[in-house]
Amino acid sequence: MNKEKKLPIIEIKKEWCKGCDICVDYCPTDVLAMNGLYAEVVNLEACTSCGLCEVRCPDFAITVTKPDSKSKK
């Protein structure tokens, strides 16, 4: 079932996130949303691994791992 579509892994470090909302703004597919003070993933299925949130976050709080980047070969 979960083999049908490989999803990226998005890690948001709450300790580093200052809730600036930039990642939410930049994500073209609305994967992220603010949850009070922090950003959180609300729609991982829509993530295209574009990496925009990762490069735009001023606090390096987001890491996006593409689904194929740790393929088993």
* Smallest distance, ligand SF4 to C-beta of residue 17, A: 3
Locus of tokens 């930039």: 22
Site string for ligand SF4, 22-61 (x = CB under 6 A): xx--xxxx-xx------x-------xxxxxxx---x-x-x
Q: Nearest 10 degrees: CA dihedral of 59, 13, 44, 21?
A: -40
Q: How many helices (H) and strands (E) does the chain have?
A: 2, 4
Footprint of ligand SF4 on this chain (CB under 6 A)? 10, 12, 17-23, 26-29, 31-32, 39, 47-53, 57, 59, 61-62, 64
